[in-house]
Amino acid sequence: MSDPPSTLSGMDTIEAEAEGILRGAGFDPEDPPTIEELAHAVVERVVPHHGISSAARWVGSTRELWINPRLSPRRRAFSIAHELAERHLSRLGYEGEDVEARANAIGAALLVPAPALRFALRQIGRRLPELSDVFDVSQSIVALRLGEVTGSPLALVMDHRVAVRGEPFAWPSAARLVAIAGGREAVPDGIVVEKISDARRRAVVKVA
């Protein structure tokens, strides 16, 4: 695992697409709806469906969003957001190889819109557990959104995967970041490690 940490390009476009979805459905990104409210405004029908093996699926022929009823509330919310984003990309004719990654990013921006996150930061600061509760999403999503919205360089270490967000920074390799986050290598000067408390083997590596 010597590859550099992965990042995501085109965040300005992703933010604009997410805000466009919200405003197009009649919502203010600074005071966003629940994802269920957004889904009902956009696709009208969200249908629990025991017959699907995936988390969720948009069915264009019936204009229904099928959702696996066995999901936890936060997994359900992210799955709905992802499907709304994927439907939006499809309607735009987007066929890039990174469609899943972009749908994940737009989905996260629907759950944690940039204007709402900036407002929350002014009220409670950057504490991941509190922000996670405010938006009712995982701390991992909040961490990624912090890097995307504020530009602060950070790396989310997820077991053996690493996602980088924020302004460019001379990060160690992905393998070293995994070792640093797991306590198997000393933390270099200039960065700090913050454990994610709602998921095992996850941590945020941030610029000090």
Picking from 11-25, 89-103, 190-204, which range would have the lowest pLDDT averaged per residue?
89-103
Instruction: Give the per-residue pLDDT at 5.
Output: 67
Span 158-185, average pLDDT: 94
Domain spans of the chain, in order of start: 11-150
pLDDT at 150 over 80: yes
pLDDT at 2 over 50: no
22-52: pLDDT as tens digits: 999 999 999 999 999 999 898 878 888 888 8
Span 144-162, average pLDDT: 95
What per-residue string of b and e applies to 118-134 under the rule 16 or more CB within 10 Å gives b? eebeeeeeeebeebbeb
Alpha helix locations (H) across the chain? Answer: 11-24, 35-42, 73-91, 99-111, 114-124, 128-135, 139-150, 174-181
Cα 133 to Cα 44, 63, 73, 86, 129, distances in angstroms: 27, 32, 13, 26, 6
| Paired residues of 48 in beta bridges | 67
Rounded distance between C-alpha atoms, residue 191 and residue 187, angstroms: 7
| Helices 114-124 & 128-135 angle (0-180, nearest 10) | 130
pLDDT at 115 over 80: yes
Query: How many CB atoms within 10 Å of residue 171?
Result: 19
What share of the chain in percent tops pLDDT 90? Answer: 71
pLDDT at 6 over 70: no
Residue type, 24: G
Topology of the domain covering 11-150:
Arc Repressor Mutant, subunit A (1.10.10)
Cα 175 to Cα 5, 15, 126, 160, 199, distances in angstroms: 9, 30, 26, 8, 20
| Paired residues of 163 in beta bridges | 6, 156
pLDDT bracket for residue 9 (50, 70, 90): low
Instruction: Give the per-residue pLDDT at 4.
Output: 57
Rounded distance between C-alpha atoms, residue 87 and residue 68, angstroms: 17
Instruction: Give the per-residue pLDDT at 8.
Output: 66
Span 13-23, average pLDDT: 94
pLDDT at 181 over 90: yes
Cα dihedral 50→103→124→205 (10° resolution): 110
90-109: pLDDT as tens digits: 888 888 778 899 999 999 99
